[in-house]
Amino acid sequence: MYRLLEILPGTLVWITLIGMVLASVYAPAGAAIFIILFDTYWLLRTATLSSYLIFTFRKMRENLKINWLEKTKEIEGWERVYHLVLLPMYKEPYELVRETFNSLLKGDYPKEKIIIVLGTEERAGEEALMVAKRIEQEYGGKFHDFLVTSHPFNLEGEIPGKGSNQAWMAKEVKREIIDKENLDYEDILVSVFDVDTQVYPGYFGRLTHAFLTTEDRQHTSYQPIPLFNNNIFEAPVFARVVSLSATFYQMMQQARPENLATFSSHSMPFKALVEIGFWHKNVVSEDSRIFWQCYLHYNSNWRVIPLAYPVSMDANVAAGFWRSMRNVYKQQRRWAWGSENIAYVITSFIKNKEIKLRKKLYWTFHKLDSFYSWATASILIFALGWLPLLLGGSEFNQSVLSYNLPAITQNVMGLAMLGILLSAILGVILLPPKPEWFKPHHYLLYLIQWILLPVTMILLGGLPAIDAQTRLMLGGRFRLGYWVTPKRR
């Protein structure tokens, strides 16, 4: 059953794509009606998602103006909270890691309440360990504790990557620091950050306040908004659009916490992490899998609280345009490999008799719909609307429906472009401090770049998702391992 459920997402995608072609040949009128209804549905969905985006954007701007540390200090017992920050790294350069630690030092939260673990990979070689040791020498004495770990290579049952490294780091810091100092697990919040993640000065104050004011806080994850803009001015235009689109999607998700799972940088209680046995070490999509581990272990008594507060991360930039495009594609494919969780979740739902059926059905539909839409929606909207006209034959092309199909789809998509305009405006507002070379006319260029969104949605959105789900469907040698996104300065 597990293997059949791995095959399911890719099967649904290919049935849709092949079915659309066949329908355009043998039932062009039905295909045309489907396209019109599908475009209309996505117009309504775009309007809804745009309202979510505006809501979260406003909430984030409000939260950035609040002194969260002062609000946190009004809560009794706040000083007992420790922050354990896990920073897994591979071959990132010293300059990039230093920027991350500088942002930690600029934060207003008491540094004596922050424990740092910088986790290297043995397979990254001696140079990576030297970078970590150099960082430890410069910053080690500025926090409560600082630990450098080296994750061994080729441990049995592991996929080399972020998840297995994080599990190693958490076990090491538990043994070397937390247990030796007899720290209370319930007072420790674990924040898992990519090593390029830069926190805003008030981030840990915001996180602590959310933790202390959340009901049943020991069964909750805390999710910031990832702004992929550390190096946005260095990114090629397609990479910029993809990075900002990923940010906007996560902002939309924050407005509907009932659908929210953990993604990339996030936080959770250390007690829960210990109780579930840390991260699974044989998966690629460890950031979302940890949510499902907790959800299933605690029989659905687990949720994600949106912080509506940002952390800043790198856009995908490599040496040269085409290398950057290749890396963007591979990163999107790795994210889309999260469809591996569908089989894990459904089979676990079948075994678990404590979770209510309505919750199982809700999450099953939501997961299937998310990955199915990721792979098919952009292609159906922007690429296949013309198929009935091309393949439907002369009889269909002489019909009234054939005549009106282009006009209807054009009008619907024209209205949907308002969502793209909103993205363009917010994309400019969210730009970090401008470099000296940035002139007034660059604002116009950063607005116009969004006309590329339909292209990026297909080439760097839909296709990587189809690639990932097809590989999962085929299995064997086609399965993906963990691909580390190269970072550079």
For residue 466, give the nearest of 41, 24, 12, 4 by alpha carbon.
Answer: 12
The total number of structural domains in the chain stands at 2
* pLDDT reported for residue 340: 96
Residue 353: inside a domain: no
Residue with tokens 């085409």: 322
Let me know whether 194 and 142 are in one domain.
Answer: yes
What was the pLDDT predicted at 94? Answer: 96
Q: Is 356 inside any structural domain? A: no
- Stretch 23-28: mean pLDDT: 92
Residue 40 pLDDT: 87
Q: What pLDDT, in 10s, does the model give residues 173-189?
A: 999 999 999 999 999 99
279 and 231 in a common domain: yes
Among 266-275, 304-313, 352-361, 385-394, the minimum mean pLDDT is found in 385-394
Cα dihedral value 467, 470, 475, 481, nearest 10: 20
Residue 22 has pLDDT above 80, yes or no: yes
What pLDDT is attached to residue 488? 80
DSSP state of 117: E
Q: Is residue 184 part of a domain?
A: yes
What CATH code is carried by the domain that includes residue 278? 3.90.550.10
Sequence letter at residue 23? A
Residues 37, 80, single domain; the answer is no
Query: Is residue 50 domain-shared with residue 150, that is, in the same domain?
Result: no
The residue count of the chain comes to 489
Burial of 119 (0-12, 13-18, 19+ CB in 10 A): buried
- Whether residue 468 is predicted with pLDDT greater than 90 in this model: the reply is yes
Compute the C-alpha angle 367/469/327, nearest 5°. 105
Distance CA 240, CA 105 (A): 28
Strand 114-121 to strand 82-88: parallel, antiparallel, or no bridges (unpaired)?
Answer: parallel
Closest CA to 334 of 292, 287, 293, 369: 287
Are 439 and 459 within one domain? yes
Query: What does the block give as tokens for 371?
Result: 């990955």
Residue 384 pLDDT greater than 90, yes or no: no
Chain segment 293-316, per-residue pLDDT in tens:
999 999 999 999 999 999 999 999
Which is higher by pLDDT, 282 or 385?
Answer: 282
Q: Which of 348, 374, 398 is the last residue of a domain?
A: 348
**Same domain? 302 vs 378:** no
Q: Is the separation of the CB atoms in 174 and 274 below 8 Å?
A: yes
Last residue of a domain, one of 348, 383, 406: 348
Per-residue pLDDT band for 409 (boundaries 50, 70, 90) equals confident
d(CA 159, CA 164): 7
Cβ atoms 164, 284 nearer than 8 A: no
Q: Would you say residue 410 has pLDDT above 90? A: no
Mean pLDDT of 323-333: 95
Residue 370 confidence class, pLDDT cut points 50, 70, 90? very high
Q: Are residues 295 and 378 in the same domain?
A: no
Position 381 pLDDT exceeds 90: no
Q: Does 342 lie in the same domain as 463? A: no
Sign of CA dihedral 452, 449, 487, 234: positive
Range of the domain at 72: 68-348
The pTM assigned to this predicted structure is: 0.93
- Per-residue pLDDT averaged across 120-138, rounded? 95
Please tell me the number of Cα atoms within 13 Å of 27 on its side-chain side.
9
280 and 394: one domain? no
pLDDT band at 400 (very low <50, low <70, confident <90, very high): confident
β-strands 82-88, 188-192 pairing = parallel
Query: Could you tell me the CA-to-CA distances from 40 to 18, 24, 35, 462 in Å, in that order?
Result: 22, 19, 8, 19
Grouping H, G, I as helix, E, B as strand and the rest as coil, residue 454 is: helix
Tell me if residue 225 falls in helix, strand or coil: strand
Q: Which of 322, 348, 374 is the last residue of a domain?
A: 348
Mean residue pLDDT across the chain? 94
27 lies in some domain? yes
For 341-367, what is each residue's pLDDT tens digit? 999 999 999 999 999 999 999 999 999
Please state the rounded mean pLDDT for residues 2-9: 97
Give the pLDDT band (50/70/90) at residue 415: confident
Residue with tokens 């609307």: 385
CA distances (Å), origin 177, targets 113, 146, 183, 218, 458: 13, 9, 9, 21, 47
User: Of the ranges 223-237, 309-323, 371-385, which one carries the lowest mean pLDDT score?
Assistant: 371-385
For 27-83, write each residue's pLDDT tens digit. Answer: 999 988 898 888 889 888 989 999 999 999 999 999 999 999 999 999 999 999 999
Structure token pair of residue 169: 């780091």
Residue labelled with tokens 């072609």: 21
CA dihedral 377, 383, 384, 386 (to 10 degrees): 140
The answer on 271 and 343 residing in a single domain is yes
Question: Does residue 403 lie within any of the structural domains?
Answer: yes
**pLDDT band for position 201 (50/70/90)?**
very high
Specify if 355 maps to a domain: no
pLDDT given for residue 386 in this prediction: 82
In a domain, 474, yes or no: yes
Average the pLDDT over 117-124 and give the result.
96
Q: Are residues 114 and 222 in the same domain?
A: yes
Are 123 and 160 in contact, with CB atoms under 8 Å apart? yes
Mean pLDDT value across residues 97-110: 96
SS3 120: strand
- Residue 371 forms part of a structural domain: yes
pLDDT at 163: 94
Tokens 């030092």 sit on residue: 105
Specify whether 295 is located in the same domain as 182: yes
Q: Write the DSSP symbol of residue 476.
A: G
Q: Is 198 in contact with 301 (CB distance < 8 Å)? A: no
